Amino acid sequence: MRLRARVPITRGMSEPAPAKRLYIKTYGCQMNVYDSERMADVLAPLGYGVTDDPTGADLVVLNTCHIREKATEKVYSELGQLKRLKQEKPGGMTIAVAGCVAQAEGEEIMRRQPAVDLVVGPQAYHQLPELIARAHRARGERLSADFAPDEKFDALPAVRNPAGVSAFLTVQEGCDKFCTFCVVPYTRGGEWSRPAEAIEAEARALAEKGVREVTLLGQNVNAYQGVGGLAGLVRRLATIPGLDRIRYTTSHPRDMDDALIAAHGEVEALMPYLHLPVQAGSDKVLKAMNRAHTAESYLRLIERIRAARPDIAISGDFIVGFPGERDADFEATLQLVREVGYASAFSFKYSRRPGTPAAAMMGQVAPEVADERLRRLQALLDEQQQAFNAAQAGRTLPVLFEKTGRHAGQLVGKSPYLQAVHVTAPDRLLGRIVPVTIERGAKNSLAGILELEAA
Ligand code: 5AD
Ligand code: SF4
């Protein structure tokens, strides 16, 4: 992920802060994207400005993901390359590992790669300035895996410098669901919700800086515990002037309550898109995953959501090759996908994570079998996504223009259904929500033309 370079912050009246270069590489989910931005906010008063090139950076932060083995292994190979850059950098380079791998295997990282100066978990990155100072003095604790999300949020700077018109906003962290495949309850801790006042203040400040869309983040965002639950929070944020679009992710089917479903039918700012992972379509597998829902209960839930908001785009996550998954179980997943009709989806091959209950289960699936199932599932999901996008042709959709496109004179925006839309349009429409007539939909994006009044 690339963060846009920021204007260096000046300290005091006369003394400009030294220009130090900070390179952050982000892996994994949107919460890590949010955390990376906040780490840059924490480091800005120390004189660090963000760069998009690690060569010559004074401080490199890898914000890591532990969800699957592949994501974890990437960190170690990246560190090998950084070690060489560090050796070539006169004046030195500080290397920090943050995020979920830092939380899960901090000691091991320091042992395996001595070029790492410090390690900081996802609930402790407000301590970065102190950890950096200690690492530079080459003494004291260089690892913090503290679990104090409230302290972290209290310590983060109130001012954010949003990189665009759409911003992430963490409202909830952690997970108490303990799906048997998942490391998140161990890396991010138990479910914890931020106070609604703090969230509203952050959202208002973002809107004042031109943000038009916020995506509320949480590992179980619909388990948000503030007064009125997530529905109450959405209604509260919908009153903020300028904040025209609200989204939230990721949700658990178990926490999709009536109030939230009703909000989808009633709150105009709440976008018609819902990421609601089901993981599998076989009840036997769902039970072994400890998902606390069946295929049938998920389908009924989707029906109720669609009754409230008929055009809602449904997205999901899937795992194939979970221990004990037989051909018939996998067929049940395909059947569920056919019944739901997904607008988009993410599907993964089961990855055995040390310490999780599923890692010790009988019936681990052969990699070739899992590969083949993944290929078939992705082909079906791709077909559905393509069909959903193609079905927009001829409709006029409100598009929030977020950035310039690859071609001159082109802008890229988002439809209410989270589709990227390419349109020939003047730059002055950046940050505005404008009606666009969709001409065609491809697998990953739509193409449209401006309605006459906007052009
Ligand atoms: N193996 C494969 N996929 C996983 N996910 C979580 N844990 C694993 C694992 N061990 C997937 C789930 C989840 C998404 C974020 O990542 O589908 O919803
Ligand atoms: Fe990765 Fe999950 Fe941690 Fe996000 S919360 S960084 S997806 S392990």
Predicted confidence (pLDDT) per residue in 211-250, tens digit: 999 999 999 999 999 999 999 999 999 999 999 999 999 9
| 76 in the same domain as 214 | no
- Residue 5, in any domain of the structure: no
pLDDT at 2: 35
| 163 in the same domain as 120 | no
74 alpha carbon, closest ligand: 2
Residues 266-313 pLDDT 10s = 999 999 999 999 999 999 999 999 999 999 999 999 999 999 999 999
| 383 in the same domain as 258 | yes
Q: Is the pLDDT of residue 3 over 90?
A: no
| 384 in the same domain as 347 | yes
Q: Which of the four pLDDT bands, split at 50, 70 and 90, describes residue 139?
A: low
- Residue 365, in any domain of the structure: yes
CATH number of the domain residue 416 falls in: 2.40.50.140
Q: Are 36 and 122 in contact, with CB atoms under 8 Å apart? A: no
| 366 in the same domain as 265 | yes
Q: Which ligand 2 atom sits nearest the alpha carbon of residue 31?
A: 4
67 alpha carbon, closest ligand: 2
pLDDT at 8: 35
The C-alpha atoms of residue 167 and residue 100 are separated, in whole angstroms, by: 22
Of 81-85, 139-143, 302-306, 396-400, the poorest mean pLDDT is in 139-143
C-alpha 31 – ligand 2 centre gap (Å): 7
Backbone phi, psi, residue 103, to 5°: -65, -45
| 409 in the same domain as 443 | yes
CATH number of the domain residue 59 falls in: 3.40.50.12160
Residue ending a domain, among 147, 178, 205, is 147
| 177 in the same domain as 123 | no
Residues 317-372 pLDDT 10s = 999 999 999 999 999 999 999 999 999 999 999 999 999 999 999 999 999 999 99
Residue ending a domain, among 372, 390, 408, is 390
| 269 in the same domain as 186 | yes
| 413 in the same domain as 385 | no
State which residues form the domain around 293: 151-390
The C-alpha atoms of residue 188 and residue 123 are separated, in whole angstroms, by: 8
- Residue 206, in any domain of the structure: yes
| 195 in the same domain as 230 | yes
| 113 in the same domain as 219 | no
- Residue 171, in any domain of the structure: yes
> Across 288-395, where does the E strand assignment appear?
313-320, 344-349
The C-alpha atoms of residue 34 and residue 30 are separated, in whole angstroms, by: 6
pLDDT at 143: 84
pLDDT at 159: 81
Residue nearest to atom 7 of ligand 1 (CA): 182
Residues 22-34 pLDDT 10s = 999 999 999 999 9
Give the binding-site residues of ligand 2, using a 6 Å CB cut-off: 28-29, 31-32, 65-67, 99-100, 183-184, 187-188, 219
pLDDT at 16: 53
Q: Which of the four pLDDT bands, split at 50, 70 and 90, describes residue 169?
A: very high
pTM: 0.93
Average pLDDT over every residue of 185-193: 93
289 alpha carbon, closest ligand: 1
Whole-angstrom CA distances from 76 to 12, 24, 95, 202 are 40, 16, 13, 35
| Percentage of the residues of the chain whose pLDDT score is greater than 70 | 95
Residues 52-111 pLDDT 10s = 999 989 999 999 999 999 999 999 999 999 999 999 988 899 999 999 999 999 999 999
- Residue 4, in any domain of the structure: no
CATH number of the domain residue 256 falls in: 3.80.30.20
**Tally of domains within the chain:** 3
Residue ending a domain, among 390, 413, 439, is 390
pLDDT at 455: 61
Say which residues have a Cβ less than 8 Å from residue 396's Cβ, sequence separation at least 6. Answer: 435, 436, 437, 438, 451
- Residue 56, in any domain of the structure: yes
- Residue 10, in any domain of the structure: no
- Residue 259, in any domain of the structure: yes
| 413 in the same domain as 310 | no
3-state secondary structure of 436: strand
Q: 173 - beta bridge partners?
A: 192
